[in-house]
């Protein structure tokens, strides 16, 4: 009986959201970041045609991307973790499929002298695309010059005093203050490593089309905002160790050529795929079509085992600036909302099941995510009503909860995208069940960031945000991060302990100590502050033609996946 009632609710709210989806909006920021959206799109013939990559064109795989390709691929100026980027540009460390940091060009490491030094052991067989050698001298330049002088990269090495070259393939990083998360940062798009000779040769032109040089399995031939062309780097023979185990050593199988084409519009991208004009879509499958591709013998699909993407509602806890002071001042209201949102329904109705509900403030790949179940928020309508009723809230004849003459009412600020509107509409309906009135205000991205950054909001819903370590808690709740990140809850105004705990965690000198301290901060924030309402961890999805053999999805730039066709 419970299943039947839930099914009815899903159908009712799905119909409501369907009406919203038929507004005819174009792909928005949500789709651009993850490649998935539920925008209304023209249906195309799904009978399928054979791709030209299967018809003797020399081993070319053509891939459709949901976003434009950055015009500059110079990490100092713009980081990009797109599929094409990671096939060209390497990193010292890397992420595996579970989001954990693993070796790459750095084969091993150890923190010494109470975390004040980091010793990196390096591969001795790596050659950049221009023939220059990778070694400890290059790592010294990478950390103390290249990253240190980058607009978006200097933060990675802000604690680095110097790098001592101890041997040709051993570098010792000397810190002014310990930074156990530097290994995570070096695996990210902001930590990507480039050829020093190429950077110095091209000067200000480095990173432009045809002027991108690293040590990935493919060399870049050209790129612009619409397309990128890569060719196999024949000398490449340094796969990531965890890849070798996963693929039983057979990671050298690569196509001769990769062609990436940008299709920002969902209907155009899926039409090109279904017509055989491209062989696959990397993180470009709309949620509305994913079930159809899953069920078809013509296509293969994949989603990542875990996600570092997150969608949440930030609450402004400064009653002086909040547009709904009652929300900032009343903990029981924030808790009631946290229990009253059915996250699984959001996953099912809006995302067609592609993703996971979020019970707390960190993604599952982060160790500090694992806290006792009693601190987590899962959908519990009775608990939501109880926690509000026990703290003085009563539902008035109009269906809105009131306390001390104030109503449980606030406005959710969100960006004007299809997915955001659908999420907001569903949440608005859910909160009616506990007598909370939530209005929705949509705006453009720049206005959203300005209003949230200045504190001129009550609640703001993020689009897809990608962060895979526990510093997320510091960014969103510490006074020290007030001017560093526009999605700050201002929790420190009423809860100075939020700053105390997250600063203490961020300043820990070892990973183990940082994890334990962040767990304590995490529990405190969930139990005593409630500065956010996390909704879900969405996942991107890939689809590729069944004529392409041994293709594997591309997750977070982690692997340079082997691809094989009958023609190679």
pLDDT tens profile 446-469? 999 999 999 999 999 988 777 888
In this structure, are 227 and 329 located in the same domain?
A: no
CA angle 568, 125, 94 (to 5 degrees): 75
Worst-scoring range by mean pLDDT, 43-57, 328-342, 538-552? Answer: 43-57
Q: What is the DSSP string of 381-409?
A: HHHHHHHHHTTT-EE-TTS-EEETTEESE
In this structure, are 253 and 329 located in the same domain?
A: no
In a domain, 266, yes or no: no
Half-sphere exposure of 522 (CA within 13 A, CB side): 29
In this structure, are 95 and 226 located in the same domain?
A: yes
Is residue 195 pLDDT above 50, yes or no? Answer: yes
In a domain, 225, yes or no: yes
In this structure, are 445 and 524 located in the same domain?
A: yes
* Average pLDDT of the chain, as a whole number: 84
In this structure, are 183 and 78 located in the same domain?
A: yes
How far apart are alpha carbons 352 and 541 in whole angstroms? 12
In a domain, 192, yes or no: yes
In a domain, 500, yes or no: yes
Most confident of 71-85, 237-251, 288-302, 524-538: 524-538
In this structure, are 254 and 313 located in the same domain?
A: no
Question: Contact, 365 vs 468, CB < 8 A?
Answer: yes
In a domain, 155, yes or no: yes
In this structure, are 449 and 327 located in the same domain?
A: yes
Query: Which residues are 418's β-sheet partners?
Result: none
Worst-scoring range by mean pLDDT, 46-55, 331-340, 391-400, 516-525? Answer: 46-55
Strands (E), 159-290: 160-167, 170-175, 218-223, 227-232, 257-262, 280-281
In a domain, 190, yes or no: yes
pLDDT tens figures, 49-108? 333 333 233 488 899 988 888 888 999 988 776 667 888 999 999 888 777 889 999 999
CATH number at residue 84: 3.40.190.10
In a domain, 206, yes or no: yes
Question: Contact, 281 vs 273, CB < 8 A?
Answer: yes
Q: Domain range spanning residue 164?
A: 67-259
pLDDT tens figures, 351-406? 999 899 999 999 998 999 999 999 999 999 999 999 999 999 999 999 999 999 99
In this structure, are 331 and 471 located in the same domain?
A: yes
In a domain, 36, yes or no: no
Report the interhelical angle of 381-389 vs 331-340 (nearest 10°).
170
Instruction: Report the first-to-last Cα separation within the chain, whole angstroms.
Output: 55
Residue % of the chain over a pLDDT of 70: 84
Q: Which two tokens stand for residue 122?
A: 């390096």
Total count of domains within the chain? 2
């Amino acid at each position: 009986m419970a299943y039947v009632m839930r099914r009815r609710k899903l159908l009712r709210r799905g119909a409501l959201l369907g009406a919203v989806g038929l507004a005819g909006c174009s792909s928005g920021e949500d789709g651009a970041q993850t490649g998935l959206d539920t925008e209304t799109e023209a249906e195309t013939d799904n009978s399928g045609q054979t791709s030209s990559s299967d018809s003797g064109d020399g081993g070319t795989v053509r891939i459709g991307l949901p976003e434009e390709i950055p015009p500059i691929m110079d990490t100092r100026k713009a980081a990009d973790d797109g599929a094409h980027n990671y096939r060209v540009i390497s990193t010292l460390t890397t992420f595996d499929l579970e989001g954990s940091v693993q070796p790459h060009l750095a084969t091993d490491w150890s923190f010494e002298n109470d975390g004040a030094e980091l010793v990196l052991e390096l591969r001795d067989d790596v050659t950049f695309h221009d023939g220059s050698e990778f070694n400890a001298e290059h790592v010294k330049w990478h950390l103390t010059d290249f990253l240190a002088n980058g607009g978006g990269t200097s933060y990675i090495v802000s604690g680095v005093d110097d790098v001592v070259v101890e041997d040709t393939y051993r570098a010792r990083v000397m810190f002014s203050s310990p930074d156990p998360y530097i290994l995570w940062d070096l695996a990210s798009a902001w930590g990507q490593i480039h050829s020093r000779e190429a950077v110095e040769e091209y000067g200000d032109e480095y990173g432009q089309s045809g002027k991108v040089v690293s040590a990935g399995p493919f060399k870049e031939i050209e790129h612009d905002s619409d397309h990128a062309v890569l060719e196999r780097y024949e000398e490449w023979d340094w796969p990531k160790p965890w890849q070798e185990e996963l693929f039983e050593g057979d990671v050298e199988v690569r196509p001769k050529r990769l062609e990436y084409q940008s299709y920002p519009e969902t209907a155009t991208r899926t039409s090109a795929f279904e017509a055989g004009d491209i062989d696959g879509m990397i993180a470009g499958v709309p949620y509305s079509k994913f079930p159809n591709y899953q069920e078809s013998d013509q296509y293969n699909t994949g989603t990542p085992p875990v996600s570092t993407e997150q969608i949440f509602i930030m609450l402004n806890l400064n009653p002086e600036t909040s547009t709904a002071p009652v929300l900032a001042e009343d903990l029981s209201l924030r808790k009631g909302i946290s229990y009253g949102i059915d996250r699984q329904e959001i996953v099912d109705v809006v995302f067609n099941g592609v993703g996971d509900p979020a019970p707390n403030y960190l993604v599952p790949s982060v160790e500090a995510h694992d806290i006792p179940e009693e601190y987590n928020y899962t959908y519990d309508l009775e608990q939501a009503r109880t926690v509000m009723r026990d703290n003085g809230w009563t539902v008035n004849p109009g269906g809105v909860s009131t306390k001390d003459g104030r109503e449980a009412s606030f406005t959710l600020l969100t960006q004007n995208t299809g997915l955001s509107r659908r999420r907001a509409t569903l949440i608005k309906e859910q909160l009616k069940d506990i007598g909370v009135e939530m209005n929705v205000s949509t705006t453009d991205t720049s206005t959203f960031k300005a209003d949230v950054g200045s504190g001129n909001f009550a609640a703001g819903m993020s689009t897809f945000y990608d962060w895979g370590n526990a510093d997320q808690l510091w960014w969103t709740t510490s006074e020290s991060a007030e001017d560093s990140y526009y999605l700050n809850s201002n929790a420190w105004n009423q809860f100075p302990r939020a700053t105390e705990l997250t600063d203490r965690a961020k300043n820990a000198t070892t990973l183990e100590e940082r994890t334990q301290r962040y767990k304590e901060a995490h529990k405190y924030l969930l139990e005593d502050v409630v500065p956010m309402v996390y909704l879900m961890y969405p996942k991107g999805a890939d689809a590729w033609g069944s004529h392409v053999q041994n293709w594997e999805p591309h997750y977070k730039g982690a692997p340079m996946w082997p691809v094989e066709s009958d023609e190679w």
